[in-house]
């Protein structure tokens, strides 16, 4: 099967960001499929305007340079979304395909996906990574009623034209079904890359020894985006209280985003920067395993907004893959998993002092840490391993493709039956007409023959009568 895979912010392991699309695409290639990924080069790297092509483990990746980062204004980001929508539509329509797959965010990637699928007359599958427009509305980022209406219409357009929707969490799936109940939806969350995060103990120890500020101290790590939804200042405020309770605990924040500078400024203001709190710019995904391997506990945060509980953050699953306890400050399905399995902590969403007390207590509890590490690893293996979830993903694509083939075959069979029925009807009509013509010809011939017979009979009768009259006259 030839798959066109549209993801505006695709990353491979050499880049900073989630690698879900890379992992899924390369596995599709391993199974014998052909995959073309359409994406953007958000760095604006040299190379000129237009498309360039690379290959990632057999996956053809088509890049178009459109600079982007979440420190941009909403207007600038929307312009980047619109620009990619246009160029991706053109590129996707130019590629051969048996199936088109598009993954959000942003929601606008559905447009090139739908249009390319219609032009190529192939099925479309859509993946929902964030529930739009519900989340930006709740965040206050989408206030204009007209824009809200447009965003809602775009969501309806995507779901209506998708043969199936893949949602990254149960809450996202519920949101899709609430908007369009007839949409078939499958939940496939982000995954734990067990092989990638299997780091040798000596490498972890070397990492710790390399940094004088760390060595054998407890380490709490945050990795990922510092955007408006994350609220990473929560961890900085908790660190202020942690320093009072246990000055040896260290906090490492690794990432990038709109809130990077404000978070750094807050850490400096509280006298924590380069002491209790260290902040590193984003690093390639391939460098995260040793950082998490050195962590006593990993973390994931969002602002106290209910709509954000349905997230499927990579950092949560990276912690599981690394076998590290995970602490979060929100409810929902991930909080339920933590409570059920003992893989970490569910913190108060706003009380940072209480969070600090929980961190201090559990970072020094070796028994609890050992149990949580085992539980995290078990959860990664049994429910969220990349191979396990990829099988589910591949089933969706195979099911959609098979259904499309059956539909095409049924349509072709129906067309053939209709043609056959039409031919039979034409033949029957022709035969009936021939029979009618034959009957008419036969009847006419019979009538002519009867008339001739009658004429001969009348002539004979007249002659006989004349002879009889003549004979009678002679006898007289």
Separation CA 331–CA 187 (nearest Å): 18
Residue 464 has pLDDT above 50, yes or no: no
C-beta separation of 230 from 303 below 8 A: yes
Choice among 9-18, 65-74, 247-256 with the minimum mean pLDDT: 65-74
Average pLDDT over residues 4-18: 95
Query: Could you give the angle at the alpha carbon of 195 between the alpha carbons of 192 and 199, nearest 5°?
Result: 105
Residue 72 confidence (pLDDT)? 77
Question: Structure pTM?
Answer: 0.84
DSSP letters, 391-417, are HHHHHHHHHHHHHHHHHHHHHHHHHHH
Widest pairwise Cα distance in the chain: 168
For 343-360, how does the pLDDT look when each residue is reduced to its tens digit (9 = 90+)? Answer: 999 999 999 999 999 999
Q: Name the band, by pLDDT with cuts 50, 70 and 90, for residue 74.
A: confident
Separation CA 7–CA 171 (nearest Å): 22
Residue tagged 């129906």 (tokens): 414
Encoded tokens for 290:
């040793």
Choice among 138-152, 251-265, 280-294, 314-328 with the minimum mean pLDDT: 138-152
Fold held by 2-188: Rossmann fold (3.40.50)
- For CATH 3.40.50.2000, the residue range(s) in the chain are 2-188, 201-386
What is the 8-class DSSP label of residue 104? P
Encoded tokens for 419:
């043609």
C-beta separation of 400 from 164 below 8 A: yes
Residue 141 confidence (pLDDT)? 81
Residue 421 has pLDDT above 70, yes or no: no
Encoded tokens for 213:
């500020």
User: 118, 231, 137: which is closest to 175 by C-alpha?
Assistant: 137
Residue 434 has pLDDT above 70, yes or no: no
CATH 3.40.640.10 fits 201-386, yes or no: no
Q: Name the band, by pLDDT with cuts 50, 70 and 90, for residue 125.
A: very high
Choice among 64-73, 150-159, 288-297, 360-369 with the minimum mean pLDDT: 64-73
For 160-203, how does the pLDDT look when each residue is reduced to its tens digit (9 = 90+)? Answer: 999 999 999 999 999 999 999 999 999 999 999 999 999 999 99
Q: Name the band, by pLDDT with cuts 50, 70 and 90, for residue 382.
A: very high
User: 254, 262, 258, 252: which is closest to 227 by C-alpha?
Assistant: 258
């Amino acid at each position: 099967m030839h798959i066109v895979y549209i993801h505006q912010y695709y990353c491979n392991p050499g880049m900073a960001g989630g690698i879900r699309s890379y992992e899924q695409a390369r596995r599709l290639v391993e199974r014998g499929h052909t995959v073309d990924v359409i994406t953007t080069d958000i760095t604006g790297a040299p190379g000129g305007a237009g498309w360039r092509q690379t290959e990632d483990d057999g996956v053809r990746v088509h890049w178009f340079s459109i600079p982007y980062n979440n420190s941009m204004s909403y207007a600038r980001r929307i312009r980047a979304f619109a620009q990619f929508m246009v160029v991706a539509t053109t590129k996707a329509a130019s590629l051969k395909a048996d199936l088109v797959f598009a993954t959000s965010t942003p929601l606008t990637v559905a447009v090139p996906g739908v249009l390319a699928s219609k032009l190529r007359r192939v099925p479309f599958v859509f993946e929902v990574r964030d529930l739009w427009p519900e989340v930006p509305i709740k965040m206050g980022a989408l206030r204009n009623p007209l824009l809200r209406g447009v965003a809602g219409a775009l969501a309806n357009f995507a779901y209506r034209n998708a043969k199936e929707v893949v949602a990254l969490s149960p809450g996202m799936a519920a949101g899709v079904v609430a908007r369009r109940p007839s949409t078939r939806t499958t939940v496939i969350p982000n995954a734990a890359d067990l092989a990638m995060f299997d780091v040798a103990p000596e490498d972890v120890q070397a990492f710790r020894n390399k940094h004088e500020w760390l060595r054998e101290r407890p380490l709490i790590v945050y990795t990922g985006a510092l955007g408006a939804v994350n609220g990473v200042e929560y961890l900085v405020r908790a660190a202020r209280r942690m320093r009072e309770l246990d000055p040896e605990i260290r906090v490492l924040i690794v990432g990038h985003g709109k809130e990077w500078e404000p978070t750094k400024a807050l850490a400096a203001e509280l006298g924590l920067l380069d002491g209790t709190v260290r902040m590193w710019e984003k690093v390639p995904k391939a460098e995260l395993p040793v950082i998490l391997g050195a962590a006593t506990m990993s973390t994931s945060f969002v602002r106290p907004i209910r709509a954000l509980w349905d997230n499927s953050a990579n950092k949560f699953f990276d912690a599981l893959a690394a076998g590290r306890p995970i602490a979060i400050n929100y409810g929902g399905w991930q909080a339920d998993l933590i409570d059920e399995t003992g893989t970490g902590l569910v913190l108060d969403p706003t009380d940072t002092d209480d969070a600090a007390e929980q961190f201090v207590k559990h970072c020094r509890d070796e028994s609890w840490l050992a149990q949580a590490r085992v539980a995290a690893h078990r959860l990664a293996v049994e429910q969220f391993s990349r191979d396990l979830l990829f099988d589910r993903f591949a089933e969706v694509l195979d099911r959609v493709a098979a259904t499309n083939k059956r539909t095409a075959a049924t349509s072709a069979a129906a067309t053939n039956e209709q043609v056959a029925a039409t031919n039979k009807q034409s033949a029957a009509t022709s035969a009936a007409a021939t029979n009618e013509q034959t009957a008419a010809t036969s009847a006419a011939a019979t009538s002519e023959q009867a008339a001739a017979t009658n004429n001969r009979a009348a002539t004979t009768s007249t002659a006989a009568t004349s002879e009889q009259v003549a004979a009678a006259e002679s006898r007289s």
